[in-house]
Amino acid sequence: MPDRPLLKICYVEDDDDIQRVARLSLERVGKMEVSIIGDPTIALDAILAFKPDLVLLDWMMPVMDGPTLFKRMRETEGLRDMPVVFLTAKASQRELDELRGMGAAGVLSKPFSPKDLPEQLRAIWRALP
Amino acid sequence: MTSGSAAPVDLASTRDASARTEDVSGRADPQRVLADRVEQLYGQMPLGMAAHLLIGGIATYELWDERTRDLVLFWWGLVLLVTAARAVLYFGYRASASKLVEAEQWMRWLAISALASGVTWGFAGAVFFPSHTDEQQVFLAFLLAGVASAGIPAYAASWPMFAMYAGVIVLPFTYVLANFGNRLFTEIAVLVPIFYLINVGIAYRLNRVFLSGYRLRHAYDRLTEDHTRLNKQLEQQIEDLQEARQEVEASGRKLALFAERAPISVIEMDANSTILEMNPAAEHMLGYSALELIGRSALSTLFPADEATLTPEWWAQFVARRLPANRVRARCLRRDDLEIEVEFTITPLVNEAGDLVSIIAQCQDITQQLEAERLKKEFTSTLSHELRTPLTSIIGSLQLVNSGVVGDASGEISELATVAERNAQRLLDLINDLLDIDKIESGKFTLVPESVRLADLVQESLILNKSFADRYRVGLEVRGDVPDVRLHVDRKRLMQVMTNLLSNAAKFSPEGSAIEVNTRCADAMVRVEISDRGPGIPDDFRSRIFTRFAQADSTTTRHKGGTGLGLAICKRLIELMNGRIGFDNRPGGGTTFHFELPVLVDAVST
């Protein structure tokens, strides 16, 4: 368990509406500092600049999907050990297992509940080594 | 030379013939032969009795005089009595139903009657001979000789009977003659027993002729019987054979028709995969005519060079093992070089001697089926993603509004937003249920089983469903102790079943009532019961309650929500976990839904 509370979150998501809901949820309900990135191709630099505690990734995105971005992060100095949580509308057990197998800290499914999302993320945060 | 060699042959054949006769007579039933003899003997009785009376009458008349009147009368009475007794015996025999079975007994009675009849004549000889005149003595001697010798044909079927009959006639007379004191009579007394013995000898020979005649007759009867039976058997066998042949021909025609008209391709090959025959469906599937392919190797003609499954090695192994191969998928090359995916069922035909006769391949072009499956999978996956993405924003936004995070909404706005959220949630449930049922029914559903404590499961399900039950103002209660057992189940999926049953119960329970959860263990199965005080399940709905989109009536959907898929999913999930699900009317009103699951045996009470 990390010795500090979960405060800064980066969310990579291409859908504008979901971005807005997630921002409200994390800022208003979770009282967290949030940076939303709509274009996954510039995500690596944006994350490096924002220095979040945890990155929230969508799976299905145009040009570059979540798992690919996740692999890039693992190859990038400074992002290698950053905890990543997937937020996905894919529901099959096989796909979820695949994500966990890649080393994701957690997988949450869409639709998510904005009331509960911050608490779910904190639970994952607390379970980190 | 010729005659010398012919002689032994003749001898042998004669011996054979006599042996055959012997063999044939030996087959006669002794009991039947005896019965025939008895029948023959009784057949002589009427004539015997008539002769007895007639001769007795003449003798009485001839011997009648004042001196011996009483004695002659007594004798005449004796003759009448014996004849009457014999008549009774004769009619008794004629009326009898047990002539065959009791032949021996009838023979014995007849012997007694013969003895009695003989005694009357013996008596006449012994008593009247000394007391009468010379002429009458001649008459008596003539009479005795006559009745004694008449016994030979009468008792021809049993020589001992004749010996007895004639014996009692002749012996007293001989005695009288021997003691008469007259030389002539003494000489006759010596001659009479000799005549007697000669007569017995003749009777004996006659008896044997009769016996062999009867035996032959019976043996012949039996042979005829055997012959008739054999003939019948033969006829039956020929008939059976005929029928069998017709059946084989019919089934052959049927089989040919099956192959000819079947929509499935059928190809017959030999052990080298040389094509022997194929049906029209196979011609259609492969684009070749049968004439083009018969005689060619299926392996080298029908499959592309890089085919990985149905290779010559696979074929060699199949031929060696001679076991049917099911659902073998391989790519095939049509005549127009188009590649198709084909599913094969290949069966070796092995005869009783264990030789491979031929190989039958039934095959189906599944190219389009596979494409359809791929499309469906893609569609399902896309549907799942594309429907959930907008729902994420809708439900998220409404939840934020309703939870007051973005400021308090006024009465009616808040009310409408709640309606919108509830229905968006329903839409999501429907999508999830549809995806579930699709996965289960396409067989692609995999459970993630783990060891779970029953008590934990029940507790968790109550906590999860409490807020839903509160909405309907219904209580949730666990009755009694939950057995301390563990189950090997998919926790998430079993929770889905519990949630389904509990929320159904809540929806239909009257306000203020409580839903009861009962658990118990029996025969390595745990049973969980969820009981409500609702209106019960309508009779016409009971049989289809576990089918898809089943709801008691369409108004229910409007009032209570739900997709009509919940129970169908529950049933399939429970069955996937090797359990059973069902429901009963609850005494006192309401319904009890119950499911049973196997207890994890290794970890009881840990």
The total number of residues shown for chain A amounts to 129
Residue ranges of A 1-40 with Cβ closer than 8 A to chain B = 15, 17-18, 20-22, 24-25, 28-29
B183 touching A (Cβ < 8 Å): no
Whether B395 sits inside 8 A of A111 (CB atoms) is: yes
- pLDDT digits over B65-116, tens only? 888 888 888 999 999 999 999 999 999 999 988 888 888 899 999 999 999 9
Q: Which residues of B touch A91 (CB under 8 A)?
A: 384, 388, 432, 435
pLDDT for the residue numbered B11: 44
The total of other beta-carbon atoms located within 10 Å of residue A19's CB is: 19
Residue A14 pLDDT greater than 60, yes or no: yes
Domain boundaries, chain A: 8-127
Does the beta-carbon distance from B403 to A115 stay under 8 Å?
yes
Helix or strand holding residue A41 (H, E): none
pLDDT band at A122; cut points 50, 70, 90: very high
Q: Is the pLDDT of residue B527 over 90?
A: yes
Tell me the CATH architecture of domain B262-365. Answer: 2-Layer Sandwich (3.30)
Note whether B262-365 and B450-603 share their fold. no
Q: pLDDT tens digits, residue range B232-255?
A: 999 999 999 999 999 999 988 888
Which DSSP state fits B227?
H
> Which pTM value belongs to this model?
0.50
Distance of alpha carbon B467 from alpha carbon A116, whole angstroms: 15
Is the pLDDT assigned to residue B262 strictly greater than 50?
A: yes
Instruction: Write out the two tokens for B172.
Output: 């007293």
Question: Across chain B, what does the average pLDDT equal?
Answer: 86
How far are the Cα atoms of B49, B90, B105, B131, B147 from residue B55, in angstroms, in the given order?
10, 20, 29, 19, 9
Residue A20 or B405, more confident: A20
Counting beta carbons within 10 angstroms of the beta carbon of residue B265, is it exposed (0 to 12), middle (13 to 18) or buried (19 or more)? buried
In tens, the pLDDT along A34-76 reads 999 999 999 999 999 999 999 999 988 888 888 899 999 999 9
For residues B227-234, give the mean pLDDT: 94
What percentage of chain B has pLDDT greater than the value 90?
43
Q: Considering only the beta carbons, identify the residue of A15, A25, A93 that sits closest to B448.
A: A93
Place of tokens 């299926």: B298
Name the amino acid, one letter, at B389. T
- Residue B20 pLDDT grade (very low, low, confident, very high; cuts 50, 70, 90): low
Q: Categorize the per-residue pLDDT at B273 as very low, low, confident or very high, splitting at 50, 70 and 90.
A: very high
pLDDT of residue B13: 47
pLDDT digits over B249-258, tens only? 998 888 888 8
Of B385, B393, B406, the CB nearest to A17: B393
Domain boundaries, chain B: 23-226, 262-365, 371-441, 450-603
For residue B62, CA distances in Å to B55, B264, B548 come to 10, 113, 123
Question: In terms of CATH, what superfamily is A8-127?
Answer: Response regulator (3.40.50.2300)
CA dist B558 and B573 (Å) reads: 26
Question: Across residues B116-124, what is the average pLDDT?
Answer: 91
Lowest-confidence pick of A80-84, B15-19, B419-423, B460-464: B15-19
Using one digit for the tens of pLDDT, what is the confidence trace for B138-175? 888 888 889 988 888 888 889 999 999 999 998 888 98
Is the Cβ–Cβ distance between B161 and B111 less than 8 Å? yes
Nearest CB neighbour to B399, from listed A90, A94, A114 = A114
Give the residue from B377, B378, B383, B393 with the most A CB atoms within 10 Å of its CB, the best one to mutate: B393
Is B384–A91 a contact, with Cβ atoms under 8 angstroms apart? yes
- Closest CA–CA distance from residue B518 to any residue of chain A (Å): 31
Which one of B400, B406, B423 would you mutate to disrupt binding with A, by most A Cβ within 10 Å of its Cβ? B400
Arithmetic mean of pLDDT, B573-590: 91
Say which residue, B13 or B584, is predicted with more confidence.
B584
Name the phi and psi angles at B402, rounded to 5. Answer: -70, -25
Q: Any CB–CB contact under 8 A between B385 and chain A?
A: yes
Q: Tell me, yes or no, if B397 comes closer than 8 A to chain A by beta carbon.
A: yes
Who among A25, A90, A110 is closest to B400 (CB)? A25
Residues of B in contact with A32 (CB under 8 A): none
Query: Which of A116-125, B151-160, B298-307 has the largest mean confidence?
Result: A116-125
| Chain A residues within 8 A of B406 when measuring between CB atoms | 24, 28
Query: Cβ separation of A21 and B392 shorter than 8 Å?
Result: yes
Band of pLDDT at residue B5, cut at 50, 70 and 90: very low
Q: Distance between CA B60 and CA B490 in Å, rounded?
A: 124
Residue B389, chain A, CB below 8 Å: the answer is: yes
- Of B149, B145, B139, the C-alpha closest to B174 is B145
Under a CB-based contact definition with an 8 Å cutoff, are residues B417 and B545 in contact? no
Q: Say whether pLDDT at B1 is over 80.
A: no
Size of interface A-B (CB pairs under 8 A): 71
How far does the CA of residue B397 sit from the closest CA of chain A (Å)?
A: 6
Which CATH code fits B450-603? Answer: 3.30.565.10
Cα atoms in the 13 Å half-sphere on the side-chain side of B537: 21
**Is B87 an interface residue toward A (CB < 8 Å)?**
no
Chain B residues touching A111 at Cβ < 8 A: 388, 391-392, 394-396, 428
Picking from B7, B10, B115, B128, the residue whose alpha carbon sits closest to that of residue B70 is B128
What pLDDT sits at residue B384? Answer: 76
β-bridge mates for residue B177, sequence order: none
pLDDT tens string B34-69: 888 899 899 999 999 999 899 999 988 888 888 888
Q: What is the mean pLDDT of residues A30-34?
A: 94
Compute CA distances B9 → A13, B1, B18, B22, B249, whole Å: 118, 13, 14, 20, 51
Yes or no, beta carbons of A110 and B390 under 8 Å apart: no
